């Protein structure tokens, strides 16, 4: 897309390209009409200075074949308004001549509230053959305030990660009212925003809206469980709604586990301004001289071949560069939450270890309820914060459970919620000053609990200590589920008050404190798999996922609901990170529940002893199948074939990089008599057209047979052009097909 920016550059002005030194770093000093292409393998974001040395975005989208052509783009733009050169700023300042939504708004030490940012220099650093980082320095000509815009490019994955560094050398602190991570500018005929909202057990409900003049905002002010109502993820189609395989689309997300704000502003030229960052709400930040403020990363990928390619870009990037052990392996598990809730003891648990082993999973995960004595954790009303084993339920402690698990031949993992406290706890009694609560007002609870104040280094030590103790006492602990069930009400920190720091730092310092703790945990225990959970999917983002191997998408494990929740999550997060458990939440048959859970990292949360003989046999076989096919699901490419929002059935296939192994999942998503479903062939994607594949229906329930002809071999071309008919019906509402290359 070439931008219709109201900036006019003279044809004669010279394009100053990056000066390549013999070394891999480049450096360019301030001069007029500098063009800075931020290029991935297929796309580019092109920035250029104007005659006044202000930087603007002149192009975003498919990259030009000749890099030097980028310098010419602005000559096509014919605008001369008095506001030319500010709408397209890559970091729009506030208080001077800007009239649109700013990226940054500050008050200087002398009380002046104007900011101007001009280009000074930029530098491109080659990190490796795939990754480069361009840092662009902007400065206020009148005040010693500077902003560095950082763009990290993952070329092959077509992903750009961007953030800003803010610094000043004024005599006293400056106040930052707004400090965005990203400010982008797009030009298209139309902009279609696909975004999400929801609540507990209703995550990732979709909205699609044509953006019109004015501002559309996605935000959270919830603090700890920030994404409960809305995640910081979205898809933006240009010109028209992109489909899986067609159209221009950007996927964007903010890597921040706290309050966020993403503004989409259609300006008076029908161009679109995007501003994404920490939510400025109640978060004015006082920045000391020479202190550097680093904003969170905004991560985006663009494709002009539809949402499918864009999401595969994101998956490839996330597995390789972001999610902890993203290209590694995962453990299947049996969780006791829905099987026992708080009602268990040693005997019951050791029985469950044996059940887990019989089932064939790798690990047993002990959930909530194992701790606290003065106020035992027998429900969600007490005990949170007191991380000592409950002597009544577990008289011999975790160590004993670990030994019993080992004896049973299964690994052992444990649930924690270390950021939270019940007022009915010893921790609350002893350290009320560690709790986020408004001292002048009545406490207000979410799930009977309050967050601890992670801006306080003592609290950080405490939270780190919870995990450190567990690992130190039980070095074989194989898994952690880290939960976070409450939002932040009455956001007030006794610690900040005592330090004389503004309360408006709390939301930001909380998240930074959380990352400090996670960093310490990962320095000491780099490998242990950890599940990110927040009363379901209330906190999922790419900063937290640096420390976690996987996340819990929702407490809602009804398989029909999960098809939709997993479908939407799959645009942003690869299957290896999706924790999908088979539970008794719904009465839908075990096969359907198992098949749906297999589309990610499979686990169980059921009473194994209540399974019928056939159900147990089916589950054992399913786990064997899963062992064989999980490399394709975890590391392969995902293709969405039939969208369940459009028709009452869903189909996807995964295919590995070698294109010799693929798995196709098909589901009927309605139980109505008139399903509205015609058993039509479904075309696969991502196979090799010239390879031949055998097809086998797997996960058949004992006593049932496939309706598909056995021993057939098809070419990839046939499967992708004609397709295959999974023959879904009321009796076959879930069908998994495995394709293996035949040589
Ligand atoms: C909320 C989680 O989403 C559940 O899986 C379970 O761990 C409970 N918390 C325990 O309190």
Domain CATH for 694: 2.60.40.1180
- State which residues form the domain around 12: 1-32
Q: Which pLDDT does position 483 carry in this prediction? A: 98
Tell whether 23 is in a known binding site. Answer: no
In DSSP terms, which residues pair with 601 in a beta bridge?
579
Percent of the chain with pLDDT over 70: 95
Pocket around ligand 1: residues whose beta carbon is below 6 Å from it?
337, 367-368, 415, 483, 485, 533, 535-536, 552, 555
Ligand 1 centroid to Cα of residue 535, in Å, is: 5
Tell whether 605 is in a known binding site. Answer: no
Q: Is residue 46 located within the same domain as residue 10?
A: no
Q: Is residue 202 located within the same domain as residue 236?
A: yes
Q: Is residue 15 located within the same domain as residue 43?
A: no
Q: Is residue 308 located within the same domain as residue 362?
A: no
Q: Which of the listed residues 322, 357, 378 is the one where a domain comes to its end? A: 322
Q: Is residue 583 located within the same domain as residue 707?
A: no
**The token pair that represents 457 in the structure block:** 């280094």
Q: Is residue 92 located within the same domain as residue 7?
A: no
| Mean pLDDT on 311-336 | 98
Spatial CA neighbour of 513 closest among 488, 536, 537, 489: 488
| Mean pLDDT on 256-263 | 98
Residue 495 has pLDDT above 90, yes or no: yes
Q: Is residue 466 located within the same domain as residue 361?
A: yes
Q: Which pLDDT does position 81 carry in this prediction? A: 76
Q: With cut-offs at 50, 70 and 90, classify the pLDDT of residue 679.
A: confident
* Domain CATH code at residue 351: 3.20.20.70
Q: Which of the listed residues 559, 594, 621 is the one where a domain comes to its end? A: 621
Give the residue whose CA is nearest to atom 5 of ligand 1: 555
Ligand 1 centroid to Cα of residue 128, in Å, is: 41
Determine, yes or no, domain membership for 629.
no
Residue 678 has pLDDT above 80, yes or no: no
Determine, yes or no, domain membership for 102.
yes
Spatial CA neighbour of 484 closest among 572, 430, 557, 415: 415
Give the length of the chain.
743
Q: Is residue 39 located within the same domain as residue 24?
A: no
Q: Which pLDDT does position 193 carry in this prediction? A: 98
Q: Give the nearest ligand 1 atom to 555 CA.
A: 3
Q: Which pLDDT does position 16 carry in this prediction? A: 34
Q: Which pLDDT does position 711 carry in this prediction? A: 84
Would you state the torsion angle of the CA atoms of residues 366, 367, 370, 376, taken in this order, to the nearest 10 degrees? -170
| Mean pLDDT on 511-531 | 98
Tell me how far the alpha carbon of residue 618 is from its chain's centroid. Answer: 33
Q: Is residue 168 located within the same domain as residue 118?
A: yes
Q: Which pLDDT does position 17 carry in this prediction? A: 34
Ligand 1 centroid to Cα of residue 7, in Å, is: 53
Q: Which pLDDT does position 14 carry in this prediction? A: 33
Q: Which of the listed residues 288, 303, 322 is the one where a domain comes to its end? A: 322
Q: Is residue 1 located within the same domain as residue 124?
A: no
Determine, yes or no, domain membership for 43.
yes
| Mean pLDDT on 550-571 | 98
Residue 676 has pLDDT above 80, yes or no: no
Q: Is residue 188 located within the same domain as residue 303?
A: yes
Instruction: Give the mutation target among 227, 337, 417, 532 for probing the ligand 1 site: most ligand atoms within 8 A of CB.
Output: 337
Give the residue whose CA is nearest to atom 9 of ligand 1: 535
Q: Which pLDDT does position 2 carry in this prediction? A: 44
- Whether this prediction's pTM lies above 0.75 is answered by yes
Instruction: Give the mutation target among 341, 367, 369, 416 for probing the ligand 1 site: most ligand atoms within 8 A of CB.
Output: 367
Provide the b/e sequence for 415-432 (b: ≥16 CB within 10 Å): bbbbbbbbbbbbbbeebe
Domains identified in the chain, total number: 4
Q: Which pLDDT does position 295 carry in this prediction? A: 99
| Mean pLDDT on 339-354 | 97
Q: Is residue 306 located within the same domain as residue 367?
A: no
Give the residue whose CA is nearest to atom 1 of ligand 1: 535
Q: With cut-offs at 50, 70 and 90, classify the pLDDT of residue 84.
A: confident
Helix runs in 360-456, H state only: 397-408, 426-430
Q: With cut-offs at 50, 70 and 90, classify the pLDDT of residue 80.
A: low
Q: Which pLDDT does position 29 carry in this prediction? A: 43
Give the residue whose CA is nearest to atom 10 of ligand 1: 368
* Domain CATH code at residue 181: 2.70.98.60
Q: With cut-offs at 50, 70 and 90, classify the pLDDT of residue 82.
A: confident
CB 576 within 8 A of CB 326: yes
Q: Which pLDDT does position 10 carry in this prediction? A: 32
- Catalytic residue numbers read 483, 555
Q: With cut-offs at 50, 70 and 90, classify the pLDDT of residue 11.
A: very low
Residue 523 has pLDDT above 60, yes or no: yes
Determine, yes or no, domain membership for 632.
no
């Amino acid at each position: 897309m070439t931008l219709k920016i109201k900036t006019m550059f003279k044809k004669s002005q010279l394009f100053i390209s990056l000066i390549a030194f013999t070394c891999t770093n480049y450096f360019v000093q301030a001069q007029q009409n500098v063009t800075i292409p931020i290029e991935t393998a297929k796309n580019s974001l092109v920035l250029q200075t104007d005659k006044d040395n202000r930087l603007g975005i002149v192009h975003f989208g498919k990259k030009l074949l000749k890099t030097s052509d980028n310098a010419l783009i602005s000559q096509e733009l014919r605008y001369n308004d008095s506001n030319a050169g500010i709408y397209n700023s890559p970091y729009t300042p506030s208080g001077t001549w800007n009239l649109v939504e700013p990226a940054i708004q500050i008050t200087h030490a002398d009380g002046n509230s104007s900011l101007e940012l001009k280009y000074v220099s930029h530098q491109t650093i080659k990190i490796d053959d795939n990754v480069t980082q361009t840092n662009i320095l902007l400065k206020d000509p009148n005040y010693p305030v500077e902003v560095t815009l950082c763009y990290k490019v993952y070329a092959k994955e077509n992903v750009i990660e961007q953030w800003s560094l803010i610094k000043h050398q004024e005599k006293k602190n400056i106040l930052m009212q707004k400090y965005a991570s990203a400010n982008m500018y797009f030009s298209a005929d139309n902009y279609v925003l696909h975004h999400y909202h929801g609540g507990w057990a209703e995550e990732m409900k979709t909205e699609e809206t044509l953006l019109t003049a004015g501002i559309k905002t996605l935000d959270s002010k919830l603090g700890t469980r920030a994404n409960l109502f809305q995640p910081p993820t979205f898809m933006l189609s240009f010109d028209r709604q992109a489909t899986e395989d067609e159209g221009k689309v950007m996927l964007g997300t903010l890597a921040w586990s706290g309050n966020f704000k993403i503004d989409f502003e259609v300006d008076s030229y029908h161009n679109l301004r995007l501003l994404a960052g920490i939510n400025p709400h109640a978060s004015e930040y006082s920045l000391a001289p020479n202190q550097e403020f680093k904003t969170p990363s905004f991560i985006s990928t663009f494709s002009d071949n539809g949402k499918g390619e864009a999401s595969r870009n994101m998956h490839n990037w996330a597995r390789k560069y972001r999610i902890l052990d993203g290209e590694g392996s995962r453990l299947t598990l049996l969780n006791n939450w829905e099987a026992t809730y708080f009602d268990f003891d040693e005997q019951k648990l050791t029985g469950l270890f044996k059940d887990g082993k019989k089932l064939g999973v790798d690990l047993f995960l002990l959930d909530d309820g194992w701790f606290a004595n003065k106020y035992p954790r027998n429900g969600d009303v007490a005990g949170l914060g007191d991380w000592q084993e409950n002597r009544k339920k577990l008289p011999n402690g975790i160590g004993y459970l670990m030994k019993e698990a080992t004896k049973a031949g299964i690994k052992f993992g444990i649930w924690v919620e270390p950021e939270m406290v019940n007022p009915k706890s010893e921790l609350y009694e002893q350290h009320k000053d560690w709790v986020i609560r408004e001292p002048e007002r009545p406490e207000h609870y979410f799930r009977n609990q309050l967050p601890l104040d992670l801006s306080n280094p003592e609290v950080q030590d405490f939270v780190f200590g919870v995990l450190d103790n567990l690992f130190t006492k039980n070095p074989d602990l194989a898994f952690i589920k880290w939960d976070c069930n409450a939002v932040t009400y009455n956001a007030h920190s006794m610690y900040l008050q005592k330090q004389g720091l503004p309360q408006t730092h709390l939301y930001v310092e909380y998240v930074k404190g959380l990352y400090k703790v996670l960093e310490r945990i990962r320095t000491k225990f780099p490998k242990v798999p950890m599940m990110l959970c927040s009363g379901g999917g209330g906190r999922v983002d790419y900063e937290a996922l640096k420390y976690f191997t996987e996340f819990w998408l929702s407490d809602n494990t009804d398989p029909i609901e999960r098809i939709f929740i997993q479908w939407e999550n799959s645009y942003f997060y690869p299957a290896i990170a999706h924790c999908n458990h088979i539970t008794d939440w719904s009465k839908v048959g075990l096969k359907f529940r198992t098949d749906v859970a297999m589309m990610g990292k499979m686990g169980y949360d059921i009473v194994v002893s209540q399974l019928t003989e056939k159900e147990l046999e089916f589950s054992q076989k399913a786990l064997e199948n899963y062992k064989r096919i999980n490399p394709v699901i975890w590391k392969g490419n995902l293709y969405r074939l039939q969208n369940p929002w459009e028709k009452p059935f869903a189909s996807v296939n995964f295919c590995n990089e070698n294109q010799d192994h693929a798995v196709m999942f098909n589901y009927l998503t309605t139980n109505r008599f008139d399903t509205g479903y015609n058993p039509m062939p479904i075309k696969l994607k991502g196979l090799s057209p010239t390879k031949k594949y055998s097809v086998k229906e797997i996960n058949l329930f004992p006593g049932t047979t496939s309706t598909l002809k056995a021993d057939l071999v098809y070419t990839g071309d046939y499967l992708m052009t004609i397709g295959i008919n999974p023959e879904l019906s009321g009796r076959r509402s879930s069908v998994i097909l495995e394709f293996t290359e035949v040589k």
